Structure 1
Amino acid sequence: MSTLEEHIDINVPLETAWACLHRAETYPRFLNGVRQARAAGERRAHLDVEAGGRAQEVQVEIVDREMENVMTWQTTSGPDLAGTFSLLPIDRGHTRIQARFEYDPGTIKETFGGPQGFAQAVAIERGVRIDLQQFKELVEAERTAK
């Protein structure tokens, strides 16, 4: 398994970021490749994903450790992927979100196509950074609109 960690600081309170992270319907707005998402029960989400020109349905199980502000997810169908979002308060109006993504490089190549080796790691790293930036823009825009 390979692991990637990235973080970004967001100009919203922790509670605002936490609430947005738990609305499956917002996933297509910040997760590249997710065409559609919906809650599938209390701790599950169903995602329609397109990556590398391939469409797939993916089921995700979500487990919260609310006292620690940590959301852990793992696929239960589709490619074997897992990750964690940790939210850390910087101050009352700012939050750091740290994303940890665990994947098997062979599974990624087999499932989604694309590069292998170092080029694959760079592509995944860039994708996670873009997703975090899009999450930041989404949650900050939603806060401003209210």
Structure 2
Amino acid sequence: MSTIEESVDVGVPVHVAYNQWTQFKTFPRFMDNVERVDQIQAVMTHWVTRFGPRTYEYDAEIVEQVPDRLVRWNVLDEPRHTGTATFEELDAGRCRVTLRVDLRSRGLVGQAATALGLARRAVRTALTSFKEFTEGQGRETGAWRGEISNGHVQPTEGRSRPHVPTWPTG
């Protein structure tokens, strides 16, 4: 297993960066290799990505989500990996986003991508693109402020059952 960790400072308040990160359907707008993301359930997303001539489809489960702090996921299919995006307020108008990806490289292609630094470059590019997109928008395109723990949406005060969020389509 190899671990990649990169950070970027974003010129928006932490809640704006966090809210934008939770809008998975917008990832194709700023990440070249992401073709589509579908929000299947509150804790499940389906990704279609392209690396070179190959297209990959996989499901990712959000196992932990804390507003303005972190989003953690597990990819359930190949290419298997886990990831964590953390959000840290630097001052009133800036924050730091750190992306950590733990790769479980299998086979020659996965090992070559890790050895050549392609995976690290992809993480760095994703963060830079997220920064440019979010700063360019100046605000989030949507938000979901719910919490997820151990893969389950947590109830909020005043509600007897968890809220299942709806996401904007664009």
**TM class, shorter-length:** 0.7 to 0.9
Structure with the higher helix share, 1 or 2: 1
With structure 2 as the length reference, what TM-score do the two structures score?
0.74
Counterpart residue identity of residue 127, structure 2: L
Task: Report the counterpart of residue 62 of structure 1 in structure 2.
Answer: 62
Paired positions, count: 141
Q: Which among 102, 121, 127 is matched to residue 126 of structure 1?
A: 121
Task: Report the counterpart of residue 76 of structure 2 in structure 1.
Answer: 76
Partner SS state of residue 137, structure 1: helix
RMSD: 2.3
| 1:115 paired to 2:112 | yes
Give me the whole-angstrom Cα distance separating, in 2, the residues matched to 1:62 and 1:98: 17
- State which structure, 1 or 2, has the greater radius of gyration over its C-alpha atoms: 2
Conserved 8 A contact 1:79-1:108: no
With structure 1 as the length reference, what TM-score do the two structures score?
0.86
Give me the whole-angstrom Cα distance separating, in 1, the residues matched to 2:102 and 2:140: 34
Q: Shift of residue 63 of structure 1?
A: 2.8
Larger mean CA deviation between 1-10 and 42-51 belongs to 42-51
Q: How does 1:1-146 map to 2 (within 5 A)?
A: 1-66=1-66, 69-106=69-106, 109=109, 115-116=112-113, 118-119=115-116, 122-143=117-138
Give me the whole-angstrom Cα distance separating, in 2, the residues matched to 1:101 and 1:94: 23
What are the Cα deviations for residues 95-123 of structure 1, in whole angstroms up to 9, with x where unaligned?
1001101102335825xxx935631xx21
Return 5+ residue gaps in structure 1 as ranges.
none
Shift in CA distance, 69/117, structure 1 to aligned 2, threshold 3 Å: closer
Counterpart residue identity of residue 77, structure 2: S
Give me the whole-angstrom Cα distance separating, in 2, the residues matched to 1:108 and 1:99: 25
Structure 1 runs of 4+ with >3 Å offset: 114-117
Give me the whole-angstrom Cα distance separating, in 2, the residues matched to 1:79 and 1:139: 27
